Amino acid sequence: MATISQLNLFPCKTLSSKTPLNSHFTSSRPSIITLSSIKTTPTSTHSISRILVTREPTKRRNLLLVKAVDDDEWGPEKEGSGVALAEKEEEKLKELVETDSLKRRLVETFYGTDRGLNATSETRAEVVELITQLEARNPNPAPTEALTLLNGKWILAYTSFVGLFPLLSRGTLPLVKVEEISQTIDSESFTVQNSVLFSGPLATTSISTNAKFEVRSPKRVQIKFEEGIIGTPKLTDSIELPENVEFLGQKIDLTPFRGIISSVQDTASSVAKTISSQPPLKFSIPDRNAESWLLTTYLDDDLRISRGDAGSIFVLIKEGSPLLTS
């Protein structure tokens, strides 16, 4: 930091009373301003903008201007700004880490619940608590204004919507398993497709609904279903039967039927190939079931949390996200 003492190192001649003066001076002595006569202030400690070395009353001469500037004059301010920025980035990183931890804990609670069908009351309470914490950290508080994030295929990981429980129950359709429930959104055409993929001993097929959506608020969309589609079955490589199946509350042993199945597999495959060549079957949806609404309360690149009628919860994970394999 520049100080008064440092200015004394600046080379200049001192004038004494014995120094001869030029005859053209009207005054016998020049006016002298010495460094010691300058009163220092907190401001002048950092910078002395002008120091008048000699002053001649009758003849204009160039004045020597000296400015002492501290090399670190703006240092503290810049350094302070850098520290504040670093602290802000550190806080942001910490929040991202905590949010990621909450997301993984939420997905871990889904294990063994069969998308919520078999969840205990304790598990449901834990899910609600974690969802509440994530909703408070929502990086996109206006999801309908970030429609590009909504684009793509979302896999249902958990729901409290009891309307789906009969579909998820294995006793509803013997030998048929729900492999996947998904929702595909196209924000450019404002379309939504809900799809359920079923797998059986011989083939897989899907049932879908096509709908249009309208933005009603920063979080809410109104959905109007237009049609349902039963997809064309896709043939599996071989018939696979479980050891037993539960139907109407009774467990049926299928072991004796395995030998019979192997003998009729070729015939069944031929029938399946014939069915696979048919186009998907479309059907209309009654008006009373044609509309619904959905509130998105959390949205990022991997996870979406929505709430529907009667407070039902839907937790969906983006296709390809590492959360699906965690």
- Which tens digit of pLDDT belongs to each residue from 234-258? 776 555 666 666 665 667 666 666 6
Question: For residue 270, how many other CB atoms are within 10 A of its CB?
Answer: 9
Predicted pLDDT of residue 31: 46
How far apart CA 174 and CA 244 sit, in angstroms, is: 10
Predicted pLDDT of residue 285: 82
How far apart CA 318 and CA 156 sit, in angstroms, is: 9
Q: Which residues contact 116 (CB under 8 A, 6 or more apart)?
A: 110, 124, 158, 159, 160
Q: What is the mean pLDDT of residues 10-37?
A: 45
The per-residue DSSP string of 107-140 comes to HHHTTTSTTTTT--HHHHHHHHHHHHHHHHT-S-
Q: Does the structure show a pLDDT above 70 at 307?
A: yes
- Which tens digit of pLDDT belongs to each residue from 64-110? 444 444 555 455 555 567 788 888 888 888 999 999 999 999 999 99
Burial category of 31 from C-beta neighbours within 10 Å (exposed 0-12, middle 13-18, buried 19 and up): exposed
Q: Residue 262: pLDDT band by 50, 70, 90 thresholds?
A: low
Domain residue ranges of the chain, discontinuous segments joined by +: 1-75, 90-236+276-324
Q: Where are the alpha helices (DSSP H) in 220-301?
A: 258-276
The one-letter code for the residue type at 54 is: T
Q: Helix axis angle, 121-136 relative to 75-109, nearest 10°?
A: 160
How far apart CA 159 and CA 114 sit, in angstroms, is: 10
Q: Does the structure show a pLDDT above 60 at 128?
A: yes
The conformation of residue 250, written as its DSSP 8-state character, comes to E
| Beta pairing, strands 303-307 & 313-318 | antiparallel
Q: Does the structure show a pLDDT above 60 at 127?
A: yes
Q: Quick one: fold of 90-236+276-324?
A: Lipocalin (2.40.128)
Asked whether the beta carbons of 205 and 233 are under 8 A apart, the reply is: yes
Q: Where are the alpha helices (DSSP H) in the chain?
A: 4-7, 42-46, 75-109, 121-136, 147-150, 165-168, 258-276
* Of 88, 92, 102, 114, residue with least CA distance to 180: 114
Q: Does the structure show a pLDDT above 80 at 46?
A: no
